[in-house]
Amino acid sequence: MKSYHKAQTKIIAINMVICLALILGLVIHSYNNFNFGIAIITLLLIMNGLSFISSIKMKSHIDKVESRLELLEEVLESAPNAVFVHRKLKFTYLNKKAAELFGIENPENIIGKPVEDYVKINLKAVGKERYEACLEGRPFKPMVEKMFFKANGQIIDMEIYDSSIEVNNECYALVICRNVTEQKKIAELKEKINEDERKLREKIEQDKMKDEFFANLSHELRTPLTIILGILQLLEKSNDKIAPVEDERFQMLKHNGYRLLRLVNNLLDITKIDSGYFEMTKKKYNIVTVVEDITASVIDYVDNKDLNIVFDTEVEEKIVSCHVDSIDRIILNLIANAVKFTPNGGSIFVNIYDEAEKVKIIIKDTGIGIKEEDLPYIFERFRQVDKSFTRNHEGSGIGLSIVKALVELQGGTIEVRSEYGKGSEFIIRLPVEEVSVVDMVCATVEGGIGRKQKISIEFSDL
């Protein structure tokens, strides 16, 4: 800018000389001093040439300065931060972001206005000395603040850089404000996520410990129970005089032993399923035979309750890769529920349908049914429709949740349909396996004592 002023002064001086020379040349010429007039005009032309060169130089200089100014202005205007300059606490420059910060459409509108009309200066943070330096237009040390206080009382999370600058021997204050609200929110969010993660890890650890404790406890409970039941079975076989098997008290002892064992087994299984440690070796079985066998083995129990059980199938063979013990548990549990919730004289139907790539097993009863509003929760753990202490049916409310988990572990699905007062049906779909000639299909399903004990356990709530 200084060289621009020099060039300007030079041109003005040259022009003044030219004007004087022109006047002089004309005066001399009018007094008929021809030669001297020519000399003056030549000088005038030389001077004019010099002036022309100077003005060309100045033009290119002005162009350069102008383009630099434009660039600087563009940089400031498109800066993501609010920038403003004040002298003696009066605005001298604001970029668009600063105008936005103060809620002004046109920055020009507040040039010359007091800064304190828009900013509440925090004297504690700024310090009296700095404030006075600002007010009097003296230089001050730069500083960074963390909060921006607007005159209207609004506080914004901002990083404010404040320093003094000197232009043409005058001191200005330059303020650059960076909005850190988002960053602060992100930082807070990150902290919260970390905290939640820590809590989650703690919860997972606690759950793991709880699962282990349950698994241990269930195991500890099961061992003595199995021994007691084993002795009862031996006594039953030997028909010992000390404990006559026909004795009602003996049967009661056995029955309640099985009930306890069922509960313990269920707790153990649910813990294993939850922790992913449920062992399941799948083999290929003809599911039709498996389900038919299970149904046949419960006929005595069902007859005792004066109920009718009917098995029917649309297909003779459907090969399913499954864990047959789990299939036993599933079907026995559903039939036991059907028996439990069907009044004397009712019927239970076990039907199998061919659905090409799937096999559909339906266990249907003509029992008390389930209210529509209870249906969505029927497979939830510990859910019993009748929660009253005076309810007619025994049970822990985890049977169906285990059934659902076991069906899903075989790659199948289960759904329920029911009409309150008329009956219920549980529909299971299992994926069917392709079998080649060389494939081994397990023919026999465990029967005899093993199945008998399973039935005693599953039917122990009846």
Contacts with ligand ADP, residue ranges (CB under 6 A): 337-338, 341, 365, 367-370, 378, 383-386, 395-400, 424
* Nearest distance, CB of residue 426 and ligand ADP, angstroms: 7
Helix (H, G, I), strand (E, B) or coil at 352: strand
Residue the block writes with tokens 């069906």 = 407
* Nearest CB to ligand ADP, comparing residues 14 and 368: 368
Q: Please give the residue whose beta carbon sits closest to ligand ADP in the complex.
A: 395
Shortest gap between Cβ of 430 and ligand ADP (angstroms)? 20
Q: How far is the CB of 375 from ligand ADP (least distance, A)?
A: 10
> Residue type for 349, please?
F
> Measured between alpha carbons, how far is 203 from 206 in angstroms, rounded to an integer?
5
**Cβ–Cβ < 8 Å for 260, 254:** no
Cβ at position 341, least distance to ligand ADP in Å: 3
Nearer to ligand ADP, 133 or 334 (CB): 334
C-beta closer to ligand ADP: residue 288 or 378: 378
* 202 vs 380 by CB, closer to ligand ADP: 380
Are 260 and 223 in contact by the 8 Å Cβ rule? The answer is no
CB nearer to ligand ADP: pick between 177 and 330: 330
What is the smallest separation between the CB atom of 328 and ligand ADP, expressed in angstroms? Answer: 15
CA distances from 170 to 73, 163, 252, 446 (A): 20, 14, 105, 102
In angstroms, the CA 134 to CA 400 distance is 78
* Residue closer to ligand ADP, measured from CB, 99 or 400: 400
Shortest CB 461 distance to ligand ADP, Å: 6
Question: Would you put residue 425 in left (φ > 0), alpha (ψ -120 to 50) or beta?
Answer: beta
Residue 196 one-letter amino acid: D
CA atoms lying within 13 Å on the CB side of residue 309 = 25
Residue 156 CB, shortest distance to ligand ADP, in Å, is 57
CB-wise, 107 or 369, nearer to ligand ADP?
369
Q: Which two tokens stand for residue 123?
A: 């004297």
How far apart are the C-alpha atoms of 161 and 93, rounded to whole Å? 16
Task: Tell me the closest approach of the beta carbon of residue 458 to ligand ADP, in angstroms.
Answer: 10
**Residue 424 burial by CB count (10 A; 0-12/13-18/19+): exposed, middle or buried?**
buried
Phi–psi pair at 178, nearest 5 degrees: -110, 120
Min separation Cβ 453 and ligand ADP, Å = 18
Residue/partner pairs of 449-458 with CB below 8 Å, 24 or more apart: 451/293, 451/294, 451/297, 451/328, 452/297, 454/328, 454/329, 454/332, 455/297, 455/298, 455/301, 455/332, 456/254, 456/258, 457/258, 457/261, 457/262, 457/265, 458/262, 458/329, 458/332, 458/333, 458/336
CB nearer ligand ADP, residue 298 or residue 378: 378
Q: Considering beta carbons, is residue 168 or 390 the nearer one to ligand ADP?
A: 390
Residue closer to ligand ADP, measured from CB, 319 or 327: 327
Which residue number, 313 or 337, has a Cβ lying nearer to ligand ADP? Answer: 337
The bridge status of strand 143-149 relative to strand 283-286 is: unpaired
Virtual torsion, Cα 6, 7, 11, 17, nearest 10 deg:
50
Q: Which of 100, 182, 90, 83 is nearest to 135 (CA)?
A: 90
Q: How far is the CB of 420 from ligand ADP (least distance, A)?
A: 9
Give the shortest CB-307-to-ligand ADP separation in angstroms: 12
Q: Ramachandran region of residue 227, left (φ > 0), alpha (ψ -120 to 50) or beta?
A: alpha
